[in-house]
Amino acid sequence: MNPARNLILVGPTGAGKTHLGPPLAAHFGLRLLDLDAAIEAEAGMRVAALFDREGESGFRAREHAMLHTLLDGVDIVLVTGGGAVLDPRNRERMRTRGFVVHLQATPAQQLARLQGDRSRPLLARADRESVLEAMARVRSPLYAEVADLAFDTGRFDAGDAAAGLIDALEPLWKRNGVPA
């Protein structure tokens, strides 16, 4: 059992990280932090603009630095971006600083959930489904590598996913050995 004082949500875009973060934080009495939002606040621009200006490598450098900073804290729920697991240093930091929950969703589920979303730079293409499938091939093993718990969000509708995840976490996650 991982006794970390933080919960970290990882998983593909559209898996429900942003949606599930607030109810988890409220239920467990933790502070909610969003990695992409923190990067945007520091940079003074949206992620898409950062991608345009600095490319993916520039964004990933900012992501690594901000992840490191945010995980200096305790008693947080950290919502990560879908690509945060790409950097092995990020995966190590997550493993050592939090109880990591891998929110799972298939590319078909992601596509349906992200149908009207045009804010994600890596999906700003006509072949969104093939992009999601390619990302899944690379990233799924990395999510699994860091995860203390895998949770399939596709089994739930949006309203029931939070309750299902809380039920799954209750017997598993203990902060400093004390039940959450």
pLDDT of 61-92, one tens digit each? 999 999 999 999 999 999 999 999 999 999 99
Q: Where are the domains of the chain?
A: 7-171
Q: Is 16 annotated as a binding residue?
A: yes
Q: Is 82 annotated as a binding residue?
A: yes
Q: Each residue of 99-144: pLDDT tens digit?
A: 999 999 887 777 766 676 666 555 666 677 788 888 889 999 999 9
Q: Which tops the pLDDT comparison, 47 or 79? A: 79
State how far the alpha carbon of 73 is from the alpha carbons of 31, 32, 46, 76, 151, in Å. 10, 11, 24, 7, 24
Class of domain 7-171: alpha beta
> Which pairing describes strands 7-10 and 31-34: parallel, antiparallel, or unpaired?
unpaired
For the sheet containing 7-10, what is the strand order? 31-34, 76-79, 7-10, 99-104, 149-152
Q: Is 68 annotated as a binding residue?
A: no
| DSSP state at residue 79 | E
Q: Is 91 annotated as a binding residue?
A: no
**Three-class SS state of 140:** helix
Q: Is 18 annotated as a binding residue?
A: yes
Which residue is listed with tokens 């949606």?
19
Over the Cα atoms of the chain, what is R_g? 16
The contacts of residue 136 (CB under 8 Å, 6+ apart) are 12, 106, 107
The beta-strand segments (E) located in the chain are: 7-10, 31-34, 76-79, 99-104, 149-152, 174-175, 178-179
Q: Is 17 annotated as a binding residue?
A: yes
